[in-house]
Amino acid sequence: MMNPNDIRKMPVKVRPYRHQQRAYEFTLGLFGLLPSQVRSNGAALLMEMGTGKSLTTVGVAGTLYEYGRINRLLVVCPLSITGVWLDEFEKFAAFPYSLVLLEGSGEKKKKLLREFDGEGLQVVVVNYESAWRLEAELSAWKPDMIAADEGHKIKSHKTSASKAMHRFGAAARYRMLLTGTPVTNKAIDIFSQYKFLNPAIYGQSFYTFRSKYFFMTGYGQHTPVMKASMEEEFTRRMHSIAFRATKAECLDLPETTDIVRKVDLEPAAMKIYKSLVDESYAELQSGEEVTTTNVLTRLLRLCQLTGGFLGNDDTSAVEQVSGAKLSVLEDLVDSSLQEGKKLVVIARFVPELHAICKMLGMKGIRYSLIMGDVKKRDAQVKQFQTDPEVQVFVGQVATAGMGVTLTAASTMIFYSMDYSMSNYEQCRARIHRAGQKYPCTYIHLVANRTIDTKVMQALQTKANLARSLVDDWRRGVNPFQ
């Protein structure tokens, strides 16, 4: 017989915060392992960025495995964060597991899945696009549990990815949906997500759901408007199987949380990067005196490349050689705005800032901008702080760190960083200062297996990066690796 007190001990390596423990117990209550008035094989964790959805999910999956309820977990998420799940299991799981990321060509993904046979809980992580393309193979693998991370990605019931997730959900014993909130501007988006999670909540038919809860208005009757008489029932049903956590409610969160989001550069970009590393090392061996200045000069091009861009020595032209970080940033922006939250994005180089602004513009997202040639900076800050339509602030490391208050946001993303501890701390202080109502989250985009890692380590430990690189050289180590 299961002991509820034993089940309440989350099988993770860290002590969970109170809201994470409550979310864990709520989910296991729905799943029937703990007492609960509601039973459901699907649970939604509507937890804002930085509150720990993934840790809670690892804990739930571990307990289900330990009590013999599941052996195979399929995690489906945006492409940009598949690697995050590898890190999260490594950091948190206090139970036996094996994990494989399905990446590479379609044939390679199929081969990885066919040959996967690990110890403990078997975990497969795949992106949404690949999930529906590999539906036959993943269905044959027979996952007992499906976790849909950033679940708002399946808000449209018509897409191939959503339809595949509905079928996966129908076959799995347990389902979890992870998102800051399934509803922002359009409440009708909840149907597809809950059809995956538990079709009993809103039914199997989109058109029956729509006619029950919405009037269709506007030109061509394409705009859904919630029926006032149905608002209470709609909300009650949504929250019956959902645990909600906002930063404002999580009183035990630390004042600041740092997250390192590893980014894999494309193979072609990585090839260019490695050739630059070899070239830079060879130049240092050419006989000139090795100083912090010439080490940092060569380091500059490597840092530019990890952000996606490379200048030409013979012209002023800049070539984009990678879109990896920009893709991750786009998903983070989508998630933040899905939660109705403002966001600060900090980058070092001008081409990066232009690319970020172009991406926001193409998505119709209004933003404020401070970089070298921007005038009227006070006006840029004011509109971000006061205008609800201005959702993102984009700032350059060297120019947006002094005398600027950006407390309308509690999350800052470092797209790239320079080596100055002073600049780094000044930037961080833009959101973590008087007037901030919520704990602050800092997300650092770090290109995997590149100089970004050394820059991040130097900032975390407050080390002198230039000096440590020169010391590497003197010890016979390639300082750029």
Mean pLDDT, 10 residues at a time, the chain of 481 residues: 81 95 96 94 92 94 97 94 92 97 93 94 96 96 96 89 95 95 77 95 94 87 88 94 90 87 93 89 72 78 92 68 94 89 94 95 94 85 94 91 86 91 88 88 94 86 77 74 72
Q: Walk me through the domains of the chain, giving residue ranges and CATH numbers.
A: 4-245 (3.40.50.10810), 254-481 (3.40.50.300)
Strands (E) in 350-455, as ranges, are 366-370, 390-396, 409-414, 440-447
pLDDT tens digits, one per residue of 148-199: 999 989 988 889 999 999 999 999 999 999 998 776 558 888 999 999 999 9
318-320 and 121-127 beta bridge pairing: unpaired
Which letter does DSSP use for residue 34 in this model? S
DSSP string for residues in 120-182: SEEEEEEEHHHHHHTHHHHHHH--SEEEEETGGGG--TTSHHHHHHHHHHHHSSEEEEEES-S
Q: What angle do CA 215, 156, 44 make, to 5 degrees?
A: 95
SS3 of residue 460 by DSSP? helix
pLDDT in tens, 380-424: 999 999 999 999 999 999 887 677 899 999 999 999 988 888 888
In the prediction, which pLDDT does 461 show?
81
What would the two tokens of residue 356 be?
A: 């970020």
CA separation for the pair 172, 340 (Å, rounded): 31
Q: Residues 346-375: pLDDT tens digits? A: 999 999 999 999 999 999 999 999 988 777
pLDDT at 89: 97
User: What is the β-pairing status of strands 318-320 and 309-311?
Assistant: antiparallel
Q: What are the structure tokens assigned to 5, written together?
A: 């007190």
The length of the chain in residues reads 481
Q: Looking at residue 315, what is its pLDDT?
A: 46
Q: Which of 410, 394, 295 is nearest to 349 (CA)?
A: 394
